[in-house]
Amino acid sequence: MNDHDEIRALLALAAAGALEPEEEDRVAAHIRSCSACAGEAASWQSIAGHLRRLPTPQPPPAVIQRARVMAEARFAEEAEARWQRGVLIFVVTFAWVLTIVSWPLVRLATGGLLDLLDPRLNQTWITFAGFTTLVWLTGGSAAVLLSLRQRRERRLA
């Protein structure tokens, strides 16, 4: 029986149920006739059995509760961050829509005004340039002022 060694090498995995079907058949066939190897196989099976039946440590309910609370808090944080991002994207897009939409309306409204001042001034590009400059100036200064204020408040806090 010179495949003793080969079979012996497979016995541990056999107890773990990790053999291929052909290997299992070989092992089963061999131990039917070899009591020594059968004994070995039984030893391995015994160890495997004990491993399968190890007592399960239970998590204390306080631990589970705390894990749940922290995970739910993180979940809410992530949902909040996603929502915030969505809102900002919407507002920025809408701001562009407003700018583009207000252009013809402003032109409608001011076309008459510029005509009153001087017909030559009623050029599209003048209105556009004036409109855009005004927007960027006021918006920019508001942003700068607010950040300065915010920084001052943070330093005082």
Which residues ranging from 20 to 39 are in contact with another protein (CB under 8 A)?
35-37, 39
- For another protein, the closer of residues 28 and 104 by Cβ is 104
Selected binder of another protein within 18, 29, 81, 126 (CB under 8 A): 18
**Of 30, 29, 23, nearest to 2 (Cα)?**
30
Tokens of 12: 């541990």
Site membership for another protein, residue 144 (CB under 8 A): no
Least CB distance to another protein at residue 40 (A): 6
Selected binder of another protein within 29, 92, 121, 129 (CB under 8 A): 92
Please give the size of the binding site for another protein, defined by CB under 8 A. Answer: 71
Least CB distance to another protein at residue 76 (A): 7
Selected binder of another protein within 27, 31, 40, 127 (CB under 8 A): 40
Tokens of 59: 């998590």
Q: Identify whether the C-beta of residue 23 lies closer than 8 Å to the C-beta of residue 3.
A: no
